[in-house]
C-alpha cells in the first residue's frame, strides 16, 4: 500500500480494445502517467478521449493491457476489493434494478461496498435524504425522472461514507434547475464534508464551478494537467472581464431585479441580457436567479472561458489518423493512403514539439508538414489526372 499524499497514481497505463496491432484495434489509453493530490479534481476530454475507460480500469471493471495504478495508496490489480469499499462511484449510465425501490437500490450498493445490512439500510436513508429524495425512497427507481436518477446515483456513490467519490458526467441530461442543484451538492460534498472528488466531464463550466485541478485527456493521452488557475495563467493576475449573453422566457423585469439584487450589472441589447463577470461560477448564479424569479433560460452563452481556451487548444494540438485509410481520392482515379503519406514526412518526438501534431498510426508528424505534403500530392494527382484525360 502506498501513501495518501496522492489520491491517484497512474503509471504507464495502456488499454487497447481488439487485437493489438490489428487494423480493427483501438488504443483507448496510450501509456499514460499522472497523479492527483487530495482535493477537488477533474478529468476533462471530448467524447472518446478515454475518460470513462480510465475510471473503469481504476475501479476494476476493466483490465489494462500494461501499466499500474494506485487509488488512495491501494494497488488496483491486487487490492480492488478494498478500493471499492472506500471509493464511491457515480457512473455515467444508469444501472437500475427493475422493480426495486430507491431505498433497496441504495442499500444494496452499500452492502456491495462492504457495509453490514443494518448499517447499509441506515446509510441509504441518510444519503437519500441528503440528495433530496427522502420522499421518494419507497418509489420504484424505474419510475424516476432523469433528474431523480442522477440524484439516486449520487446517493449510491456516498452511501459507504467514502474517502474519494468519482463522478462520471454527473450533470448529464439535467435541466437548469437540476444542474444547479447537482453542482451545489458536489461542491458541498467536496468543500463542507472534505471528501476528495474526481469529476469526469466535458462540461467546462461545471468543472470550473466544482473543481480546483484539471487533467485533460485527448486520444488516450494526457495533454495537460495542473491547477485550473495555473493552466489558465491566472495565479498571479485577476481574470479579465467577460460577457455572458442570456435569453429568457418570462418576466424580464423580475429577472433583471434578481440580477441587481445579487450584485450583477447588465445591459439589454435586442432582448439579449449581457452580464459582465469575472467569477468562474457566474452561470450557476444566473441559473439560480432564474429559478427564484420563475423565468426560463432559453440560452446562456458565455464568451469562451479561459479554461475553454486551454481545453480547445490542447485537444486540437494532436490530430490523429488511427488506421490505414484513404487521404485523397480524386474521381476514384488515384488514392493516397496513410502508409504512403507517412513515408514523405519526417517523424518528430511529440515530447519535444510545441505546435500542433498529426498522429499517423503510431508516429507523429508536424501538422504544417502534413498539410504541405497533402497539398503537394493533391496537386500532383490532379495534374496526373488531367494528363490522363488528354
Find all residues with CB under 8 Å of 353, minimum gap 6, and list them: 364, 366
318 or 224, higher pLDDT:
224
Residue 256 has pLDDT above 90, yes or no: yes
262 and 287, same structural domain?
yes
276 and 176, same structural domain?
no
Residue 97 has pLDDT above 90, yes or no: no
359 and 262, same structural domain?
no
Where a domain ends, among 205, 231, 257?
Answer: 231
Rank 30-34, 111-115, 215-219, 266-270 by mean pLDDT and report only the highest. 30-34
Residue 230 has pLDDT above 70, yes or no: yes
d(CA 250, CA 375): 53
Domain containing residue 47: CATH number: 3.40.50.300
261 and 123, same structural domain?
no
Q: Which cell numbers hold the place of 256?
A: 433583471
d(CA 365, CA 387): 32
End-to-end CA distance of the chain: 74
- pLDDT tens-digit series, residues 117-129: 999 999 999 999 9
196 and 123, same structural domain?
yes
Q: Which cell numbers hold the place of 306?
A: 479561459
191 and 291, same structural domain?
no
247 and 216, same structural domain?
no
d(CA 111, CA 97): 15
Whether 362 and 324 have beta carbons less than 8 Å apart is answered as no
Where a domain ends, among 231, 253, 277?
Answer: 231
Whether 155 and 127 have beta carbons less than 8 Å apart is answered as yes
Residue 134 lies in a domain: yes
Find all residues with CB under 8 Å of 352, minimum gap 6, and list them: none
Question: What's the number of domains the chain is made of?
Answer: 3
Residue 150 lies in a domain: yes
d(CA 357, CA 365): 6
Whether 217 and 43 have beta carbons less than 8 Å apart is answered as yes
**How far is C-alpha 64 from the geometric centre of its chain's CA atoms?**
20
Among 225, 211, 144, CA closest to 183: 211
Residue 1 lies in a domain: no
Residue 274 lies in a domain: yes
- By residue range, what is the domain housing residue 382? 317-389
What is the Cα Rg of the chain in Å?
A: 25
HEC string for 236-268: CCCCCCEEEEEEEECCHHHHHHHHHHCCCCCEE
153 and 109, same structural domain?
yes
Residue given cell 449510465 in the structure block = 93
192 and 119, same structural domain?
yes
Whether 362 and 323 have beta carbons less than 8 Å apart is answered as no
d(CA 56, CA 200): 12
Residue 321 has pLDDT above 60, yes or no: no
Average pLDDT of 215-226? Answer: 90
d(CA 248, CA 319): 38
d(CA 228, CA 100): 41
Within 13 A of 327's CA, how many CA atoms are on the CB side?
A: 23
278 or 208, higher pLDDT:
208
Instruction: Give the chain's mean pLDDT.
Output: 81
Place 305 in a pLDDT band, splitting at 50, 70 and 90: low
d(CA 366, CA 347): 8
- pLDDT tens-digit series, residues 347-377: 776 655 556 666 665 566 777 777 777 666 6
321 and 307, same structural domain?
no
Handedness of CA 211, 311, 49, 173 (dihedral sign): positive
Residue 327 has pLDDT above 80, yes or no: no
Residue 326 lies in a domain: yes
Where a domain ends, among 311, 346, 363?
Answer: 311
Residue 258 has pLDDT above 90, yes or no: yes
Residue 3 lies in a domain: no
Amino acid at each position: 500500500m502506498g501513501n495518501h499524499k496522492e489520491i491517484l497514481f497512474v503509471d504507464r497505463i495502456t488499454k487497447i480494445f481488439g487485437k493489438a496491432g490489428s487494423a480493427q484495434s483501438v488504443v483507448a489509453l496510450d501509456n499514460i502517467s499522472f497523479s492527483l493530490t487530495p482535493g477537488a479534481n477533474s478529468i476533462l476530454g471530448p467524447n472518446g478521449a478515454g475518460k470513462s475507460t480510465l475510471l473503469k480500469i481504476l475501479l476494476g471493471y476493466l483490465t489494462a493491457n500494461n501499466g499500474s495504478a494506485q487509488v488512495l495508496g491501494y494497488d488496483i490489480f491486487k487490492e480492488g476489493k478494498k478500493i471499492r469499499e472506500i471509493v464511491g462511484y457515480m457512473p455515467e449510465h444508469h444501472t437500475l434494478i427493475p422493480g426495486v425501490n430507491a431505498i433497496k437500490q441504495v442499500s444494496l450498493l452499500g452492502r456491495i461496498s462492504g457495509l453490514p445490512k443494518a448499517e447499509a439500510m441506515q446509510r441509504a436513508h441518510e444519503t437519500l435524504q441528503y440528495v433530496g429524495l427522502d420522499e421518494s425512497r419507497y418509489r420504484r427507481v424505474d419510475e424516476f425522472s432523469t433528474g431523480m436518477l442522477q440524484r439516486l446515483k449520487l446517493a449510491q456513490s456516498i452511501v459507504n461514507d467514502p474517502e474519494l467519490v468519482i463522478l462520471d458526467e454527473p450533470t448529464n441530461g439535467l435541466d437548469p434547475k437540476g444542474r444547479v442543484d447537482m453542482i451545489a451538492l458536489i461542491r458541498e460534498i467536496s468543500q463542507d464534508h472534505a471528501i476528495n472528488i474526481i469529476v469526469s466531464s466535458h462540461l467546462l463550466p461545471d468543472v470550473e464551478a466544482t473543481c480546483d485541478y484539471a487533467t485533460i485527456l485527448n486520444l488516450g493521452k494526457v495533454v495537460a494537467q495542473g491547477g485550473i488557475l495555473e493552466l489558465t495563467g491566472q495565479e498571479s493576475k485577476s481574470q479579465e472581464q467577460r460577457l455572458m449573453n442570456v435569453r429568457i422566457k418570462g418576466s424580464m423585469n423580475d429577472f433583471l431585479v434578481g440580477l441587481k439584487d445579487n450584485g450583477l450589472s447588465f445591459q439589454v441589447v435586442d432582448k439579449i441580457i449581457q452580464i459582465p463577470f469575472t467569477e468562474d461560477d457566474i452561470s450557476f448564479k444566473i441559473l439560480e436567479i432564474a429559478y427564484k424569479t420563475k423565468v426560463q433560460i432559453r440560452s446562456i452563452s458565455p464568451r469562451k472561458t479561459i479554461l475553454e481556451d486551454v481545453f480547445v487548444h490542447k485537444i486540437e494540438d494532436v490530430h490523429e489518423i488511427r488506421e490505414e485509410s484513404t487521404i485523397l481520392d480524386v474521381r476514384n482515379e488515384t488514392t493516397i493512403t496513410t502508409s504512403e503519406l507517412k513515408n514523405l514526412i519526417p517523424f518528430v518526438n511529440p515530447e519535444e514539439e510545441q505546435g500542433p501534431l498529426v498522429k499517423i498510426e503510431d508516429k507523429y508528424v508536424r501538422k504544417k508538414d502534413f498539410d504541405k505534403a497533402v497539398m503537394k500530392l493533391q496537386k500532383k494527382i490532379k495534374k496526373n489526372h488531367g494528363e490522363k484525360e488528354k
